[in-house]
Amino acid sequence: MRSFAILAVCAVLLLASAAPAFADFYKWVDGDGKEFYTNDKEKIPAEYRGSAAPVEVRDDRVSVGTVSPAAGSAQPVKVSEHKDKYGRGEEYWRKRAENLRRQIREKQDDYDVIVRQDRNDERKAGKRSSRTKSKKSSASSRDKKKNSLEKKIARLKHELEVELPEEARKADAYPGWLRD
């Protein structure tokens, strides 16, 4: 009899622990009319605690998507690829962003070569006290190239970081498509 009671208590505890546990969620509206939600009543500002209302958690409000084949079917589920409002997909936007990144790398490499040439000339000039006229003109030419490359790099970075994301936003493309 005693073992039956212990077995019954264990069964009740097992069933109670297997029941789904839902946290209480609360909603409140601030003075500006913005809605806020939390599952920790302590995080509700003191002035809004009195007006905070519990939110009913219902599974029918959550949508993960519909599955067309039967649950036991071996057919793969086809998920339609998101396209922007002009019909362009992820590949288009990734290629555009990667093309800009490639151009920036190429211009930066060219710039780095010129900077190294300047450093080499400075080291050589330190060894010699006088510079020839041809070295001065080549340094001036390099300065012009450096300035030109700096402007091109800045323009490309602006296009990659500002213009392309704005164009993608207007076209309803996912922002993640532009990231590395």
Q: How many residues would you count in the chain?
A: 180
The pLDDT value recorded for residue 22 is 52
Copy the structure tokens of residue 87: 């019909």
- List the pLDDT tens digit at each of the 180 positions of the chain: 667 667 666 666 655 554 444 557 888 888 888 888 888 888 888 888 888 888 877 666 555 555 555 555 566 666 678 888 999 999 999 999 999 999 999 999 999 999 998 888 888 877 665 545 555 667 788 889 999 999 999 999 999 999 999 999 999 988 888 888
Q: Which of 104, 98, 105 is nearest to 179 (CA)?
A: 98
* Partners of residue 25 on adjacent β-strands: 55
What is the rounded CA–CA span in Å between residue 6 and residue 3? 5
Where would I find the beta strands (DSSP E) of 21-163? 25-29, 35-38, 53-55
* 54 φ, ψ (degrees, to nearest 5): -65, 145
> pTM surpassing 0.85?
no
